Chains A and B, each alone.
Chain A
């Protein structure tokens, strides 16, 4: 305990306070969510058991310890074991596919006696560490291609393994972190433009193919892209590669689509056409939006949410916990929560800019991207801006693996912060 107090005095106070506030926020929300349901549906909805709250209390205590410990680790040492960690994660991810017990049609958990862990969470730490190591060692104007490709391969391996579980939400974290770190590394704007337009091409092609059932939107998009490339006067080679990448993404997406799990396809379709599947994932989003919208400016007040109480909100203690914030604490509470996350993310960007050590800088940017992706995507899903993929809200959603991972990453940021002027 006195370690934590020490840190509060000596460490990065902004970070640590934001972290602790978020943890307390989470416990308060889980207390509300686990309150027994009253009213006509109390015998129909088993509700979320109170034990969920008490378990999370334990996880928060452990998380704090992890955070404190990580803040004091030698970064040098971490950089050295990054590869080992990465290999261990690969082994665990393969293991989880082989022997993980299927839970709800997916193998995401490794069970060891009373302990359950999600290797995909550990993989996020390992990927940030190993990429930071590679990128920091190879800085220089003319050697960009090889590290970019190396980290891409490292990312792709994790992406594929996690996607296989299947866990699309967690899998997408890796490309996001990779993009953030590559951007910081200094990959050319043309390259990023290529990747960005390729993703856009894939989305529009998908829309043409499955929703509008008409190739016209994608055709129009390609014409606009060609015009843009011509006008922006990129080199012919670069323009050609971008165009080819776009066409490949557009043509490749149907092949990717058929490989998705049925439920994932349904969720994505539900996003494009919510009325088409009002019962499954569309239902979740509709209910979540109603809960958030009915919260108003200041919410229905703590413990008073009716949507939550009436069992209208599935997954309300895990991935959809933000809708409970929206309902019970209103716009004010939701903004407060987002600001707390923003404190951590912006602090990460600050540290990336001020750190003298490239390794630290890349760590900070990776962690900031991790938070940004999780928070933005989770909130976007609960407010109906993105299709449903299972992604927890870090530090807030119930669950040990993600809390420990996030605590570790916050610990790393504190660590970086305490050494930002070392060189």
Chain B
């Protein structure tokens, strides 16, 4: 072996051993003296899931106008550790003084959020630009404080659609517990609380994604790039059957008076307008509503939160008379032109005087005239010929006593009494046939919702060949056919003729339109709490119905005088709207041809 080779061999070996030695020393330093440091790093090396929220789906009207969308606002938030033992930490106390926040109130609010388990405490909701800039600028002095962008729900038309669209609110524990497994909610998340927002929660919300970030022991993000992502299922819009224009005119006509109006397209069953009056601004519900404002709204005797369209039940009054007639006719208990005892302004049953709404009496009228002029005395006598359960069956066939739509869980069924119901209420044998007098004219214990009355007008006009009322075009669903009416076509034709007469010459002339014949029925529902409710239900045009409408004005008085004019004016607006739609459509057609 030659000399240089030996030297080179040693040099080579020395270099290799030196390099391996460096590796080993480095490993030793890392794994033995600095082991504790790395071990704690490994323990602190936590991955935290951060929700990635897609914007909530919008809610549109039938023409694509946006009813509800999202507004991006900034919150100034703090970690829950900002409060320890009820005392603010340095960051929080600085912010309290810098922004001159009311200390006691703010601390109470943050404490509440903390106990509710919020991941971030919202110090300032919808912060101003100056506040955001301050937090960003003085990040060093304000460890933990952060500006978080957040989408807030915006209801573009404010009170106009409040009762249908509903609103979103912060989830409560029950929401979190009840949520489906793929819908994970965290404290502070928003959830649909009412109306469409609630019914279509899953579609509107989509599914939150998640990004897994690496955080250090104090929960601050170490590395801005997420380690993993779980994809967002994008939310989808919901398109309603309602129209802003029709809704607006109905709302203006009701003019804040307690009451309600519902209009259905025929025979599709689409709800074109549904106004419960007075209303409230759902935008108030998405921000932190002040306690005073909340108190004012919830104590308002006009009950703005009350959804009269589907939750309020009223006696139908004379709107019920077509049902009574149909019941008698279909069981051959009375003829279409039968006469009963003439009306002298009232009727003795037992020793009690049941009066007609027309004190002076209607005199002698046949069945048809009695319906047109809404003669109570005639119907008292008709009622006595009927059986309570027979009438109940007929009313149920007309869609009463049950919710109209399975979409909105808030909807109530109303009440159509049966003999069993009276037995339970008053005891067996403790009630008389006298109840039939009230039942025949839609008073007493009968309770209906305005939506049911709109549906009743619609059913009569189409002989039941229509879809059940629905509120939503998109997502499309298979429309449910209304149940067929168990009445002969002649009888229905006869009723329709009388309803046309009501508007032409009877109690509902206020709903008359110049060019289009309207058929309707007035109602004046007595109620024990105050003045009569004014009812009107109608459909138009009478010979080929397109739209059905029900109006109620609480404690307003006579249906023909109060509710019928509202209906008439709304129908006028409706037919203008139709004309405009047709014009737009043909214009679009022409333009389409031009482009081609």
* Interface hits, A325-362 → B, CB 8 Å: 326, 330-331, 334-335, 338, 342, 345-346, 349, 352-354
Q: Is B333 an interface residue (CB 8 A)?
A: no
* Interface hits, B15-67 → A, CB 8 Å: 16, 19-20, 22-24, 26-28, 30-32, 34-35, 37-39, 41-42, 45, 47
Given contacts A278-B222, A283-B223, contact A292 B27 (CB under 8 A): yes
- Out of B1, B9, B34, B214, which one reaches A349, CB within 8 Å? B9
Q: How far is the CA of A293 from the CA of B45 in the complex (A)?
A: 13
A331 near B32: Cβ-Cβ < 8 Å:
yes
Residue of B nearest to A43 (CB): B230
- Binary contact readout A153-178 vs B (1 if CB under 8 angstroms, 0 otherwise): 00000000000000000000000000
B28 near A331: Cβ-Cβ < 8 Å:
yes
Q: How far is the CA of A290 from the CA of B46 in the complex (A)?
A: 12
Q: How far is the CA of A213 from the CA of B20 in the complex (A)?
A: 33
Q: How far is the CA of A278 from the CA of B216 in the complex (A)?
A: 13
Contacts of A295 in B (CB 8 A): 31, 35
Contacts of A372 in B (CB 8 A): 16, 19
A44 near B42: Cβ-Cβ < 8 Å:
no
Contacts of B228 in A (CB 8 A): 41, 44-45, 311
A283, A294, A372, A385: residue with the most chain B Cβ atoms closer than 10 Å: A294
Residue of B nearest to A339 (CB): B20
A-B pair count, CB < 8 Å, reads 119
Given contacts A44-B212, A44-B228, A338-B23, contact A292 B13 (CB under 8 A): no
* Interface hits, A273-315 → B, CB 8 Å: 278-280, 283, 287, 289-297, 306-307, 310-312
- Out of B11, B13, B20, which one reaches A338, CB within 8 Å? B20
Q: How far is the CA of A379 from the CA of B222 in the complex (A)?
A: 25
- Binary contact readout A353-382 vs B (1 if CB under 8 angstroms, 0 otherwise): 110000000000100100010001001100
Given contacts A44-B230, A310-B47, A372-B16, contact A183 B31 (CB under 8 A): no
Q: How far is the CA of A297 from the CA of B30 in the complex (A)?
A: 10
Q: Is B224 an interface residue (CB 8 A)?
A: yes
Given contacts A307-B45, A311-B228, contact A292 B5 (CB under 8 A): no
Q: Is B294 an interface residue (CB 8 A)?
A: no
- Binary contact readout A28-55 vs B (1 if CB under 8 angstroms, 0 otherwise): 0000000000001100110000000000
A180, A287, A368: residue with the most chain B Cβ atoms closer than 10 Å: A287
- Out of B4, B41, B210, which one reaches A186, CB within 8 Å? B4
Q: How far is the CA of A42 from the CA of B403 in the complex (A)?
A: 46
B27 near A334: Cβ-Cβ < 8 Å:
yes
Q: Is A383 an interface residue (CB 8 A)?
A: yes
B216 to chain A, nearest CB (A): 11
B225 near A279: Cβ-Cβ < 8 Å:
yes
A335 near B13: Cβ-Cβ < 8 Å:
no
Q: How far is the CA of A6 from the CA of B212 in the complex (A)?
A: 54
Q: How far is the CA of A295 from the CA of B9 in the complex (A)?
A: 35
Contacts of B430 in A (CB 8 A): none
B6 to chain A, nearest CB (A): 7
Residue of B nearest to A295 (CB): B31
Q: Is A184 an interface residue (CB 8 A)?
A: yes
Q: Is B8 an interface residue (CB 8 A)?
A: yes
Given contacts A186-B8, A353-B6, A383-B23, contact A292 B222 (CB under 8 A): no
Number of interface residues of B (CB under 8 A): 40
B3 to chain A, nearest CB (A): 11
A310 near B35: Cβ-Cβ < 8 Å:
no
Q: Is B227 an interface residue (CB 8 A)?
A: yes
Q: How far is the CA of A312 from the CA of B46 in the complex (A)?
A: 10
Q: Is B12 an interface residue (CB 8 A)?
A: yes
B41 near A294: Cβ-Cβ < 8 Å:
yes
A335 near B27: Cβ-Cβ < 8 Å:
yes
- Out of B24, B38, B214, B223, which one reaches A335, CB within 8 Å? B24
B31 near A293: Cβ-Cβ < 8 Å:
yes
Given contacts A44-B230, A342-B20, A372-B19, contact A294 B27 (CB under 8 A): no
A296 near B27: Cβ-Cβ < 8 Å:
no
Contacts of B39 in A (CB 8 A): 293-294, 296
Q: How far is the CA of A354 from the CA of B6 in the complex (A)?
A: 10
Contacts of A335 in B (CB 8 A): 24, 27
A183 near B12: Cβ-Cβ < 8 Å:
yes
A377 to chain B, nearest CB (A): 9
A312 near B45: Cβ-Cβ < 8 Å:
yes
> Which residues of B pack against A, CB within 8 Å?
1, 4-6, 8-9, 11-13, 16, 19-20, 22-24, 26-28, 30-32, 34-35, 37-39, 41-42, 45, 47, 210, 212, 214, 222-225, 227-228, 230
> Which residues of A pack against B, CB within 8 Å?
40-41, 44-45, 180, 183-184, 186, 278-280, 283, 287, 289-297, 306-307, 310-312, 326, 330-331, 334-335, 338, 342, 345-346, 349, 352-354, 365, 368, 372, 376, 379-380, 383, 385
Identify 11 residue pairs between A and B in the complex whose beta-carbon atoms are under 8 Å apart, listed by A's number.
A44-B228, A278-B222, A293-B31, A312-B45, A331-B31, A334-B27, A338-B23, A342-B16, A352-B9, A376-B23, A385-B22
Question: Top 6 A-B pairs ranked by shortest CB distance?
Answer: A293-B38, A279-B225, A294-B42, A331-B31, A44-B228, A296-B35
